[in-house]
Amino acid sequence: MTTPPLFYRHPRPPGVRISKIMAGNLHNAVSLILSHMMGGFSFVAVDTQFPGEVHRHPRGDALTADERYGVVKANADELRLLQMGITLCDAQGRLPVIPWGADGGLHEMMWEVDFCDFDARLHRHVPESVEFLRSQGFDFLAARHFGVPADVFAAELHRAGILRLPGITWVTFGGMYDAAFMFKLATFGAPLPESRQGLVAQVGAHFGPLVFDGKYMALAVNAHGSLAAVGEKLGLPALEPNIHMAGPNSLMAIHVFMELRRRFVPLRGGHRSCSLQFYGL
């Protein structure tokens, strides 16, 4: 079997651009994403950013899967989503190529949604997490004034039918919280199910049977650690600039997944044996 190449090399437009999704361009951006998903870009990587873990277990990180899920549920039920990164690719690892800028030059594209629901003066958060995101370039004031309400974004996803598209592969990395916030978007902010099995079942019901966590898959090739560490272990080039925001993280997540997918081809069951398995749960 021929394995799919990871990168779109010939011809490769210079640079991957981030298209910001704010309240003013929400409808057009979601419609464009939908058109690409329906046009063969059926692999969708998602990364979420939220204002830190305000709930911790007294035993720290030495937890059972059920205890860890309890921490995830407590945080996701209370916290507000700050940002979501979305990167699409096709079965050969190619990203959408879209005209960009005043000259209409072609560039590969990813998307980044800023949400407006969080206000550090009103809502619980971890100050260090908020400061880290600010240092990476997240503009909290602009998000609050021009960002998208999570419920409005969810309604637009449902209107477009994105959550019901057949044959879509959803990709995360270290996806416990990604899965939690994807569920919250799909259900307009409903509390997470009481059990981790319930969350997995609900994610499958809303997003389909092909939902993957690259961090879980990487265990099979003895690659551990952060997104950047696993990418380096797999021999992938680091992102430049190395910014830890939702858009670039989703881009790296899709590269990691496509490389792992290629390596899983010879294995019995292939990469699909890892579907709906989340690292830590």
pLDDT of residue 265: 63
The β-bridge relationship of strands 105-114 and 211-213 is unpaired
The DSSP letter of residue 221 is G
Q: Which of 85, 89, 109, 88 is nearest to 97 (CA)?
A: 109
Tokens of 6: 């990871």
Domains of the chain are 16-274 (3.30.420.10)
Rounded to whole angstroms, the Cα distance separating 172 from 216 reads 10
Q: Which of 46, 44, 121 is nearest to 80 (CA)?
A: 121
pLDDT of residue 11: 39
pLDDT of residue 47: 97
The β-bridge relationship of strands 105-114 and 16-21 is parallel
Instruction: Output the pTM of the full model.
Output: 0.91
Burial 215-247 (b: 16+ CB within 10 A, else e): bbbbeeeebeeebbebbeebebeebeeeebbbb
pLDDT of residue 270: 65
Block mean pLDDT (10 aa), the chain, length 281: 34 70 96 96 97 86 89 96 97 89 82 97 96 94 97 97 93 94 96 96 95 93 91 87 86 95 70 86 85
Rounded to whole angstroms, the Cα distance separating 39 from 206 reads 21
Q: Using an 8 Å Cβ cutoff, are 207 and 271 in contact?
A: no
Distances (CA, A) of 25 to 30, 48, 206, 262: 9, 20, 25, 36
Type of residue found at 164: R
